[in-house]
């Protein structure tokens, strides 16, 4: 009888479950940093769903702090698809993320849904593309995008904004720092037992922390 090694078993399970290996995030880190990540974090960023399926993460927003300037910025950003948290009452309410591969753009489509205090949930759509000066960009709508750099600290994986861009009529312009919302840092922190924390912090050079959000998610499922 043929016996599978652990690596082959993982590959076999991924094939059976419509998950396939994906090394695009790994290539953005050096070997030492990649190995410093917990095994579950490496796995979450080493697979993708095929055949148009999505990987789902379900959880709950446990903390959401929005300053007055942050609230104003979030409302103004609604014209490009509301990429920033709008409702402080989303705290302690359900959240869900769906990640769908986008092979035509060499990237992923991320759809985040946050329950609100009243009315419809807030849906945030963005596209990660493995391109640009740092090898990874986030496109949020309205021609606005930012280049991201990856780094590892204390066993957590972080995505930090480097530059913001605006694309108009096919022409792409780098925005000066004064015209940007500030430094965006997104963290992925493994908590064990198939649970992880997603953190988002937006810090402006003049106004300090505009938005600080923490959402606790459970491990990925397919849909």
pLDDT tens digit string along 51-77? Answer: 788 999 999 999 999 999 999 999 999
Give residue 52's pLDDT: 81
- Which segments of the chain are extended strands (E)? 19-21, 47-49, 54-66, 93-102, 107-114, 122-129, 137-141, 144-153, 156-168, 171-174, 183-192, 195-204, 208-218, 221-222
Answer yes or no: is 13 within a domain: no
Answer yes or no: is 14 within a domain: no
Angle value at C-alpha 195, between 123 and 26, nearest 5 degrees: 80
In this prediction, the residues of the chain whose per-residue pLDDT falls under 50 are 1-16, 223
Answer yes or no: is 43 within a domain: no
Answer yes or no: is 37 within a domain: no
Answer yes or no: is 69 within a domain: yes
Answer yes or no: is 40 within a domain: no
Give residue 96's pLDDT: 95
Range of the domain at 65: 54-222
Answer yes or no: is 90 within a domain: yes
Task: Report how many domains make up the chain.
Answer: 1
Q: What is the CATH number of the domain that holds 136?
A: 2.40.128
Q: What is the CA radius of gyration of the chain?
A: 18
pTM of the prediction?
0.88
Give residue 221's pLDDT: 60
Give residue 220's pLDDT: 66
Contact in structure between 131 and 106 (CB atoms under 8 Å)? yes
Give residue 118's pLDDT: 87
């Amino acid at each position: 009888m043929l016996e599978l090694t652990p690596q082959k078993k993982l590959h076999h399970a991924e094939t059976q479950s419509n998950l396939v290996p994906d090394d695009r995030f790994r290539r953005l880190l050096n070997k030492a940093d990649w190995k410093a990540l917990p095994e579950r974090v490496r796995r979450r960023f080493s697979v993708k769903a095929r055949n148009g399926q999505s990987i789902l993460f379900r959880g709950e927003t446990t903390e959401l702090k929005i300053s007055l300037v942050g609230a104003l910025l979030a409302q103004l950003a609604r014209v490009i698809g509301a990429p920033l948290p709008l409702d402080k009452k989303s705290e302690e309410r359900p959240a869900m993320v769906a990640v769908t591969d986008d092979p035509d753009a060499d990237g992923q489509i991320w759809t985040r849904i946050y329950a609100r205090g009243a009315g419809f949930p807030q849906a945030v759509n963005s596209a990660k593309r493995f391109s640009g000066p740092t090898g990874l960009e986030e496109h949020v709508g309205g021609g606005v995008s930012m280049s991201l750099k990856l780094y590892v600290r204390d066993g957590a994986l972080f995505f930090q904004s480097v530059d913001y861009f605006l694309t108009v009529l096919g022409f792409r312009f780098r925005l000066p720092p004064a015209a940007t919302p500030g430094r965006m840092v997104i963290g992925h922190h493994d908590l064990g037992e198939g649970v992880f924390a997603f953190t988002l912090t937006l810090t402006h050079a003049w106004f300090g922390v505009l938005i600080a959000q923490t959402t606790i998610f459970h491990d990925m499922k397919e849909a």
